[in-house]
Chains A and B, each alone.
Chain A
Amino acid sequence: MLNRLTKLFENNRENLLTVYFTAGYPKLDDTETIICSLAESGANIIEIGIPYSDPLADGPVIQESGMAAIEGGMTLQVLFNQLTDIRTKTQVPLILMGYFNQLLQYGVDKFLDDCVKTGIDGLIIPDLPLMEYEQFYKDKLTQRNISISFLITPQTEESRIHKVDALSTGFIYVVSDSSITGMKTGISSQQISYFERIKSLQLSTPQLIGFGISDRESYLTASKYANGAIIGSAFIKHLKGKNEVDKATADFINLILNP
C-alpha cells in the first residue's frame, strides 16, 4: 500500500525539494500557513520538526527555533491538534521529525495513531537505533502504512548502508557531511565523491541529501546525485523575524525553484 510519500517516489524521482521547518516557529499558529505556502510554492515533501530542548543532531539555528517554539507553547499534542484538518487543505507528503524521547513520553502507539489520524506519511527519528526499530516498532509502522527514513553519513560503513536501505521505507536521508545541521554551506569535491559512491551502490530506497543545502545552487548540485535535497536551517533563518510567513515562505521557495 502506498502513502503520499511512497506514491510521490513512484511518479517522480528527480529534483525533489524537501523543506524542514520547526513547528511553532516563528509563531505558535504558523504551522498550517507554512505547510500550505510551502506546498503551493512547489515543495515536494514537507518535514515538520517537533521542537526539542536537546536536539543532538541539530545545530544552533534549529535549536534556537525549537526553544522559541517551546516557549511559545508548542507541544506534540498542540501540533497534532493543529494538523487535524490539514488533509482538507493539501495532499503534499508530510513527515514528522523528532527525537525518540518525545515519542516515548507521548506514548509510541498513541503517537503513531495520531499520525494516521492527521495524515502523516513518514517519520525521521535520528536517535532511534536500527535494531530497536526492527525489534519493537517496524511492525507498528508497517501496519499503519507510515514510512520511516534512516540516516547515513560519510562515515557509515557499506554493510550498514545496506541495512539502512533494507529498513528505510520512505527515503534514505543522506547526511552530506560530518556535521550537525546548518553548519556549512556549499558542496566540496570530497562530498561529491561521497555522493557518487552512494549513487553507485544502486540502493533500492530513494535518497535525499540533506545538511548544508541552503540555496538553489546546492539544491541542484545535490539533486544530481540523489532524488532530491532537503533544506532546513537556511529556511528557518529566512523566517526569523518575519511577520507575513506565507509570503516569506513563498519568496524563499521561489528563490530555489524559479529565480
Chain B
Amino acid sequence: MIQLSENGYYGSFGGAYIPEMLYPNVKELQENYLSMIYADDFQREFYYLLKDYVGRPTPLYLAENLSAKHNATIYLKREDLCHTGAHKINNTIGQILLAKKLNKKRIIAETGAGQHGVATATVCARMGLECIIYMGAVDIKRQAPNVARMKMLGATVISATSGSQTLKDATNEAIRDWINNPVDTHYIIGSVVGPHPYPDLVARFQSVISEEMKSQLLEATGRENPDLIIACVGGGSNAAGAYYHYLNDLDVRLIAVEAAGEGVYSGKSAATSILGTEGIIHGSRTLLMQTTDGQIVEPHSISAGLDYPGIGPLHAHLITTGRAEAVSVTDENALKAAFELSRIEGIIPALETAHAIHALEDISFKSSDVIVINLSGRGDKDLNTYMEYLDKY
C-alpha cells in the first residue's frame, strides 16, 4: 500500500527539512490543506474552473499510427490541450483557491521552462492576486516566449542570479522570498517537490489526470486499468497525476522517464534515479544529484522542465521499491521522438513529453498491451530548439 505517513513521508522519503523561518507557513498548510481542499465549495469551484477555464476533461486519444508503429494499443492523455498548454495549470488552479482560503494576497512561484510560471501568472490574473515569478537568468534567455507571456499576464518576473541561475536557484530564491514575506504570501510550488505537504498537495491536484483516465479507459476499452502508464519525470508532477489512482493497482506498470541529457554518464545528465543518492533538497528527503560532500550538482537536459537535480519523494519511493520502473532518454532521442510524433500523429509535443514518447523504444511490452502516455505539454515553447534540428530529422 502506497500511503503518505502522518509526518509526510513515503517510506523513507519526504518530510519537511526547513529552517525555522518557514515553519509557521508550512505548518499552516500541513494543518489545513486536506480539510480545505476537500470542502464542498472548494471542490465545486475547483472542478468548475477545471472544466470551463482549463478545458477538462482532456481527451484520451487513441494514437492509431503510433500504435501501429510500436505494435500495441497506445493512448495519449492530452494534457497539452489544457489552457496554457500543459498539465501545470491543474495544480495552480488548486493552489490559488487554497491561497484565497488562507487569505494570502501575494503569490510567488519558481519556474524552469516557464510553463509553471505561465500557469501561475494566469490564475493570478484570473483571481486578481499579485504574482511574482522567479526564473533563472539562464532560463530567462532560453525561454523568451514564456517570459513575454508571464509579463503580458501581469506578473513580475525576477531573474535568479545566484548559483547556476537555473530552476534549482529560482526555487531557492522563491523560498527566500517566502522567508522574507511570511505573512501575506503563498508559494505555489510547481511540482511534487519541497517540504511536506507540497508533494502530496500537488499530487492531489494533478490526480485529476488519472481520475479521468480511469473513466475514459473504461469507456474505450471496457476496463479501467491500462497495462502501462508512461510519463516523464523532472520533479514529477505530471507523472504523479497520471499514476495517482493507479498507485495501488499492481497490475499497472508505471514507467518514469528521466532525462539522460547527453548520456547518463556523460556528466551532462538529469537522470536522478540513477545518478542521485539519498539526501535533502528544497526541504525534502529524496534522491538528488550531489557530490560526496553533499553539494548539489547542476544537472543537464535539453528540456528546461526536466533540468532539476532531484525528484519528488513519491517517485524516489516508487522507484527504489520497484513499484515504478525508471528509464532515461537522451536529448537526441527526445528530439527524434518529438519529430516522429509530429509527423505521424500531427501533434507537436513539449520537449519534456518527447522523452516519454521515446520510452516506447526503451521498454518491453506485449502487442496486447494497452499503454497510456501522459502527453503533458505542447511544443510551441520549444520551437526554437526544434527548428535547429529540422534538417536532421
Which residues 171-206 of A have a CB within 8 angstroms of B? 175, 178-180, 183
| Interchain CB contact under 8 A, A126 and B20 | yes
Choose one: B7, B172, B183, B277; the contact of A56 (CB below 8 Å): B172
CB distance from B260 to the nearest CB of A (A): 23
User: Does any Cβ of A come within 8 Å of B176's Cβ?
Assistant: yes
The complex places the Cα of A201 from the Cα of B113 at a distance, in Å, of 48
Counting chain B CB atoms within 10 Å of each CB, which of A53, A151, A157, A180 scores highest?
A: A53
B176 touches A56 (CB 8 A): yes
Contacting pair A105 B292 (CB below 8 A): yes
List chain B residues, Cβ under 8 A from A76. Answer: 293-294
* Interface pick from B279-287, B327-335, B380-388: B279-287
Min CB gap B46→A, angstroms: 29
Contacts known (A54-B168, A54-B172, A60-B162); A175 close to B21, Cβ less than 8 A: yes
Chain B: interface size category: 35 or more
Cβ B24 vs Cβ A157 within 8 A: yes
A128 with B162: in contact, given A101-B290, A156-B24, A179-B179 (CB under 8 Å)? no
CB pair A57–B179 under 8 Å, yes or no, is yes
User: Does A152 have its Cβ within 8 Å of any Cβ on chain B?
Assistant: yes
B172 to chain A, nearest CB (A): 6
Q: Is residue B182 within 8 Å, beta carbon to beta carbon, of the partner chain? A: yes
Known: A104-B280, A178-B180. A56 touches B296 (CB 8 A): no
Interface contact A151-B163, CB-CB below 8 Å:
no
Check A127/B172 contact, CB under 8 A, given A54-B163, A153-B21.
no
Interface membership of A243, Cβ < 8 A = no
Instruction: Please tell me if B140 contacts chain A, counting CB pairs below 8 Å.
Output: no
Q: How far is the CA of A104 from the CA of B277 in the complex (A)?
A: 11
B16 beta carbon closer than 8 Å to chain A? yes
CA gap between A60 and B173 in the complex, in Å: 10
| B19 interfacial by beta-carbon distance below 8 Å | yes
Residues of chain A lying within 8 A (CB to CB) of residue B350: none
Q: Does A67 contact B (CB under 8 A)?
A: yes
Q: Does B295 make an interface contact (CB < 8 A)?
A: yes
CB closest residue in chain A, given B293 = A75
In contact, A53 and B163 (Cβ under 8 angstroms):
yes
Report the nearest B residue to A103, measured CB to CB. Answer: B294
Q: Which of B15, B176, B180, B281 contacts A129 (CB 8 A)?
A: B15
CA distance A97 to B22 in the complex (A): 18
Partner of A70, one of B7, B17, B295: B295
**Contact call B280/A127, Cβ cutoff below 8 A:** yes
Q: How far is the CA of A76 from the CA of B22 in the complex (A)?
A: 26
List CB contacts (< 8 Å) of B151-194 with chain A: 162-163, 168, 172, 175-176, 179-183
Does A223 belong to the interface (CB within 8 Å)?
no
Question: What are the interface flags for A95-127 relative to B under an 8 Å C-beta threshold, 1 for contact and 0 otherwise?
Answer: 000011111111000000000000000000011
Residue of B nearest to A54 (CB): B296
Query: A105 contacts B279, CB within 8 Å?
Result: yes
A60 / chain B contacts, CB cutoff of 8 Å: 162
Interface residue range, chain A: 35 or more
Q: Is the Cβ of A129 less than 8 Å from the Cβ of B16? A: yes
Interface presence of B274 (CB below 8 A): no
**CB-nearest residue of chain A to B20:** A151
**Interface check A63, CB cutoff 8 A:** yes
- Of residues 57 to 72 in A, which have CB atoms within 8 Å of B's CB atoms? 57, 59-60, 63-64, 67, 70
B296 CB contact (under 8 Å) in A53, A57, A104, A183: A53
Contact A178 B280 (CB under 8 A): no
Query: A11 within 8 Å of B by Cβ?
Result: no
* A52 is an interface residue with CB less than 8 A from chain B: yes
Contacts of A131 in B (CB 8 A): 7
**With A and B bound together, what is the CA distance between A179 and B17 in angstroms?**
18
In the complex, the answer to whether A152 meets B293 with C-beta atoms within 8 Å is no
With a cutoff of 8 Å between Cβ atoms, the chain B residues found around residue A175 in the complex are 20-21
Query: Is B265 located at the chain interface by the 8 A CB criterion?
Result: no
Q: Which residue of B lies closest to A127 (CB)?
A: B17
B148 at the interface (CB under 8 A from A): no
B residues in contact with A57, CB < 8 Å? 19, 21, 179
**How would residues 124 to 138 of chain B score, 1 for a CB under 8 Å from any chain A CB and 0 otherwise?**
000000000000000
- Interface pairs (8), CB distance under 8 Å: A63-B163, A70-B295, A104-B278, A104-B280, A106-B293, A127-B283, A132-B15, A151-B19
Other than the known A60-B162, A102-B294, A127-B18, what 13 A-B pairs have Cβ atoms closer than 8 Å?
A53-B163, A53-B295, A56-B19, A56-B172, A56-B176, A64-B162, A101-B281, A101-B294, A105-B279, A106-B294, A156-B23, A157-B24, A180-B21
* Chain A interface (Cβ < 8 Å from any Cβ of B): 52-54, 56-57, 59-60, 63-64, 67, 70, 75-77, 99-106, 126-129, 131-132, 150-153, 155-157, 160, 175, 178-180, 183
Q: Which 7 A-B pairs have the closest CB atoms?
A: A105-B294, A151-B20, A57-B19, A126-B19, A101-B280, A102-B294, A53-B295
